[in-house]
Amino acid sequence: MNIFADRVSRVKGSATLAMATLAGELRAAGVDVINLSVGEPDFPTPSHIIAAAKQAMDDGFTRYTPGPGLPVVRQAAATKLERDSGIKVAPSQIIVSNGGKHSLFNACMALFQAGDEVIMFSPYWVSFPEFVNFSHATPVIVGTNAQSNFEPLFDDLADRITPRTKGIIVNSPSNPTGGVWSRAAMKQVIGIAREHDLWLFSDECYEALTYDEPFESAAYIDPDYEKILTFQSCSKTYAMTGWRCGYMAGPEDVVKAMSKLQGQSTSCPNSIAQMAAVAALTGEQDVVQEMKAAFDRRRKLFVDLLRKIDGIDCAMPGGAFYVFPDVSAFFGKSVDGTEIKTPDDVTQYLLNEAHVVTVSGEAFGDDRHIRLSYAASDTDLKTAAERITKAVARLN
């Protein structure tokens, strides 16, 4: 007998968290694993942010705060958005949540319901379809391909819009591909959202990590479209994943609706993390540039190493800290009588044979690629590439 409510079976668990857990278990069992499944910076939170959190505790910021966040944090997020993204919003247009994920979840709950359709592009971040499933709306997946830099195939997109379509979710720089959409592609998607009066969710949690071109926020590209919701986070920009602090900027009535839901679920974001976020958002930003420079160096190093491996076809991603190589050349090859047929099989093989943890593209709605994170030391990246080279050489 199923004792659980339907919503439990309606959503899938996070495949990326599952891989990270598996890596932890193997390590605890004494296996020398290299975990390239991680979705977080490997740098410590910068010291001035930690100092601000300690100060906040000493100053008594240990109580509930207003539901959408302390005024000082909403102001700090507004200041940051104008400084770095050129978006002008009032603090009343900001909600601070327990991570960008929480803001995205609240927004889906506030705006979507049964009968609605919400468009997203595969490969998609694992949580997008699940947020939509939670809301009882239906995720509609529009494919992309590596040849087109994982930008939307606009004919397909046009075909999938129906009278039920309520929103489009975009994510550039992207998890899992690391791809950064061109301004033209983003502009076209916003144009389609405008034409059909759709919400445009722009998940910009990797805004600080674009290597070849400056980042452009969707709301900067079209400042007049009122249905753009901008989601950002302290997690990746400031190496603060565990602090759980992210925010959304959008119309005030959406902020109010989300605050109502947030107030009845978590009451408010963590008070100490909020004060740390003020230091992060408005303090010195050199640390962000330093982390970005390190990621950029590792990006080039790792792509170079992967491109030397027979059978791996790896594009140079323009952002985030992921590479998303095509591994379909291994499909149909075997080792010890077991045939590799899918990206799942490749990740499983790399785990067993090379002790390198990666994430299958299938978790992101893709059937040719795997995701590897280069938020890891140079030594780990080099050793991982050596181990993968040896492992795949055994396939025939």
Ligand X SMILES: Cc1ncc(COP(=O)(O)O)c(C=O)c1O
Q: Which residues bind ligand X (CB under 6 A)?
A: 39, 99-101, 125, 171, 175, 203, 205, 233, 235, 241, 246
Count CA atoms closer than 13 A to 133's CA, side-chain side: 14
Residues in the chain: 396
**Type of residue at 116:** D
Nearest-approach distance from CB 296 to ligand X, in angstroms: 18
Q: Which is nearer to ligand X, 169 or 305 (CB)?
A: 169
Q: CA 396, CA 392: separation in Å to the nearest integer?
A: 9
Nearest-approach distance from CB 244 to ligand X, in angstroms: 7
Nearest-approach distance from CB 240 to ligand X, in angstroms: 8
- Please state, in angstroms and as integers, the Cα–Cα distance from residue 232 to each residue in 198, 202, 292, 342, following that order: 20, 9, 17, 33
Q: Which is nearer to ligand X, 89 or 170 (CB)?
A: 170
Nearest-approach distance from CB 233 to ligand X, in angstroms: 3
Q: Which is nearer to ligand X, 244 or 355 (CB)?
A: 244
Residues 378/299, Cβ–Cβ less than 8 Å: no
- φ/ψ of residue 184, rounded to 5: -65, -45
- Please state, in angstroms and as integers, the Cα–Cα distance from residue 133 to each residue in 107, 139, 302, 362, following that order: 13, 7, 36, 18
- Please state, in angstroms and as integers, the Cα–Cα distance from residue 300 to each residue in 68, 92, 284, 293, 296, following that order: 40, 41, 27, 11, 6
Residue 349 in tokens: 């093989």
Q: Which is nearer to ligand X, 102 or 355 (CB)?
A: 102
Cα torsion 188, 194, 196, 201: sign:
positive
Q: Which is nearer to ligand X, 55 or 241 (CB)?
A: 241
> Residue 35, exposed/middle/buried by CB under 10 A (0-12, 13-18, 19+)?
buried
The residue number with the shortest CB distance to ligand X is: 99
Nearest-approach distance from CB 231 to ligand X, in angstroms: 7
Opening angle at CA 67, ends 11 and 273, nearest 5: 85
**Cis peptide before 123, with omega less than 30 degrees from 0?**
yes
Nearest-approach distance from CB 135 to ligand X, in angstroms: 17
Q: Which is nearer to ligand X, 234 or 287 (CB)?
A: 234
Instruction: State CA 328 to chain mean position distance.
Output: 24
Nearest-approach distance from CB 276 to ligand X, in angstroms: 14
Q: Which is nearer to ligand X, 233 or 347 (CB)?
A: 233
Nearest-approach distance from CB 235 to ligand X, in angstroms: 3
Q: Which is nearer to ligand X, 49 or 395 (CB)?
A: 49
Helices (H), 32-165: 47-58, 71-80, 100-111, 127-134, 154-160
Nearest-approach distance from CB 353 to ligand X, in angstroms: 27
Q: Which is nearer to ligand X, 375 or 388 (CB)?
A: 375
